Amino acid sequence: MAIQPIETRYKGHRFRSRLEARWAVFMDHLGVPWQYEPQGYVVDGQPYLPDFLVWPDTDCAFWLEIKGTFPGKDELTKARGLAQGTGITAYVYWAKPEPPAPDLSHLTDSEYCGFDEDGYVWTDDAGWREYPTLPPAWQRDLWPTAFRFDPGERAAKRKDKSGFWWWTDCPHCGRALIKSQGQVGWCPAYDHLDWDARMEKFGSPYPSFAHRSPRLLAAYQAATSARFEHGESGA
């Protein structure tokens, strides 16, 4: 039996799934510009139409492929080829449009880096599993949200690895961007400054969680509560 999601209309677009439409609502709430299916490509002989191009024509443009479930190997291979072929970072994102983690702003520096004896190991489909290696304790209840693929030769050789890629509210430029573990890190708007200049201007960028700002939480709320008219398929 073949089963497929019903199209969802929002803002004049016909999204292939309600989940995609919810992420569009989310980005609109944050003032994040996006294009839906702006361009199809042939990647290694296979046609590929990526879902969103986010922050198009800016220094932080990225592809955002939305999946309802953990992506398969072929989907990851296409996204890798997309990033390599277009020179634009690509995410394959399967988390729900909900805050990806609790408030972690209470963590101290040493808890943030924290190592201990127990040992856990990463598995891509399920997150941390017990075994000897050393993620900090605060990460162990978290689940990976996405695969990220960067352009460039070095990234091309990197093994597929999922991670904690969260929407993050940059306090420096006001843009909502996807960043590792919701860390503000360095704002791309200040990439032209060297390390010392950035340290002087902003102080150390870690740890600095920004995945639960009021406007991000409001955007998640808007995305999950959005009501859409019924899609239809040609009738």
Residue 61 near Zn ion by CB under 5 A = no
Q: Tell me which long-range contacts 131-134 makes (C-beta under 8 A, separation of at least 24).
A: none
**Smaller CB distance to Zn ion: residue 121 or 199?**
199
> Which residues 145-184 are close enough to bind Zn ion by CB under 5 A?
170, 172-173
- Cα 218 from Cα 15, distance rounded (Å): 22
- Cα 15 from Cα 11, distance rounded (Å): 10
- Cα 180 from Cα 148, distance rounded (Å): 10
Q: Which of 63, 9, 7, 20 is nearest to 39 (CA)?
A: 63
Part of the chain binding Zn ion (CB under 5 A), chosen from 111-119, 122-130, 187-195, 204-212: 187-195
Least distance from Zn ion to the Cβ atom of residue 61, Å: 14
**Smaller CB distance to Zn ion: residue 21 or 177?**
177
**Smaller CB distance to Zn ion: residue 19 or 187?**
187
- Cα 224 from Cα 84, distance rounded (Å): 33
**Smaller CB distance to Zn ion: residue 66 or 210?**
210
- Number of residues in contact with Zn ion, rule: CB under 5 A? 5
**Residues in the chain, overall count:** 235
Tokens matching residue 41: 């490509």
Residues 188-207, mask of contacts with Zn ion (x by CB under 5 A): -x------------------
Do residues 209 and 181 touch, judged by C-beta distance below 8 A? yes
Residue 187 near Zn ion by CB under 5 A = yes
Least distance from Zn ion to the Cβ atom of residue 183, Å: 12
- Where along the sequence are the contacts to Zn ion (CB under 5 A)? 170, 172-173, 187, 189
